[in-house]
Amino acid sequence: MTQAVVHIALVVKDYDDAIDFYTKKLHFTLIEDTYQAEQDKRWVVISPPGSSGTTILLARASKPEQEPFIGNQAGGRVFLFLGTDDFWRDYNEMKTMGIEFTRQPKEEDYGTVAVFKDLYGNPWDLVQFKENHPMFNRTK
């Protein structure tokens, strides 16, 4: 049996603002942006540069009960992890692009990591795994 996590849904306030942030500030690729008339919503899929794994589905909050989760999808915990093959390149580029880091770079047993916020305040890890870590080959 082969299975995979294909998409992670990220609740957003506005499709175009989210697309702009992820494609221009984080250099993600816009994979798909399709209007679904029967549901009056868009199917918007993005992916980090060079990635061939799990993608992010930008899901606009469509009900009042979904709106409080914009920017707080995991109760303030980091739940998205952006792996990189060059931490300092990406960290410095992100700082130049105005990305806010809430936890400064730190060397851990598994690699170099810092926490940043997306446009709605969701915390993300930017992480470069060490060569001996099982996730290393997934980000090089």
Across the beta sheet with 101-107, what order do the strands follow? 80-83, 123-129, 111-117, 101-107
Round to whole Å and give the CA distance between 56 and 9. 6
The two tokens of residue 69 are 């989760």
Please report the pLDDT score of residue 96 as a whole number: 97
Confidence (pTM) = 0.92
The two tokens of residue 27 are 């250099």
Please report the pLDDT score of residue 132 as a whole number: 83
How would you write the pLDDT of the chain (140 residues) with one tens digit per residue? 999 999 999 999 999 999 999 999 999 999 999 999 999 999 999 999 999 899 999 999 999 999 999 999 999 999 999 999 999 999 999 999 999 999 999 999 999 999 999 999 999 999 999 988 877 776 65
* C-alpha torsion sign, points 114, 120, 121, 124: negative
| Three-class secondary structure of residue 95 per DSSP | helix
Please report the pLDDT score of residue 140 as a whole number: 59
DSSP 14-81: -HHHHHHIIIIIS--EEEEEEEEGGGTEEEEEEE-TT--S-EEEEEE--SGGGGGGTT-TTTTS--EE
Round to whole Å and give the CA distance between 116 and 134. 23
